[in-house]
Amino acid sequence: MHAAIRPAALLPDQASASDPFVMALRRIEFESGRTIQAQIVFLKGQDLLPYRDAVSAAVESRHAQVRKLWTEMLAGIGVTETEAA
C-alpha cells in the first residue's frame, strides 16, 4: 500500500532531514521498495505458476481498493485527482 501511495513524495524538497516524521516516511518508502522487490521474485517463481492468474486478480483487486481509498482520502482534504497527478 505504501508503494502505491508514496506519502514521502508529498513532502516538499526542503523538508527537514532531521525531522523524525520526515525520516519515518522516507524509511517506510525505502523499506516498501525492498519488500516489493522480494515479492516480485516470489511471485515470478515456479512455485506459484499454477496460481498466477488468481494471484494477479487478487493483486489487481487490492490495487483498485487502494486507489479508491486514496482518491477518497484526497477528496476529503480538498485535493482532486488532477491536482494530485
pLDDT digits (tens, 9 = 90+) for 24-34: 877 887 888 78
pLDDT of 17 over the 70 cut: no
Domains identified in the chain, total number: 1
Nearest Cα neighbor of 33 from 68, 64, 2, 70 is 2
Neighbours of 66 (CB within 10 A): 15
Which range marks the domain in which residue 60 is found? 2-84
83 has pLDDT over 60 = no
DSSP-based three-state secondary structure for 79: coil
Residues 6+ apart with CB under 8 A from 61: none
- Given a cut of 60, is residue 36 above it in pLDDT? yes
Q: What are phi and psi of 83, to 5 degrees?
A: -70, -35
Mean pLDDT estimate for the chain: 78
